[in-house]
Structure 1
Amino acid sequence: MFFDSRNVKYVSEKIYAGESIYNINNYIYSKSYLRKEKIGVIIILACVIAIV
């Protein structure tokens, strides 16, 4: 996989902490290897929503 569980865990914690989806997207886009992979953002958010 092109992303590891630490990123999903970080995003999950942010959702539980009440962070907005906008801030989570900024965090994901700040990862250089996902900057040009919008499908990666969709996959990660789908995984996180499934976890929650």
Structure 2
Amino acid sequence: MPTITTRVEDAVQRRSFLAGAAGVAAGLSATAHGRASARTGGDPAAYTRTT
């Protein structure tokens, strides 16, 4: 039977995993945004129009 501390550690690991996954997703979208803004000459308004 798992103890309370094990459950807490599981929750912390799950949270840190989700935070890491969110960070990776944010990094990927930032990279895509950078590429798109480079394509549009660095105009963020043009980027928002193309998406």
Greater RCO structure (CA 8 Å; 6+ sep): 1
Greater helix share, 1 or 2?
2
State the TM-score bracket (shorter-chain normalisation). Answer: 0.3 to 0.5
Greater Cα radius of gyration, structure 1 or 2: 2
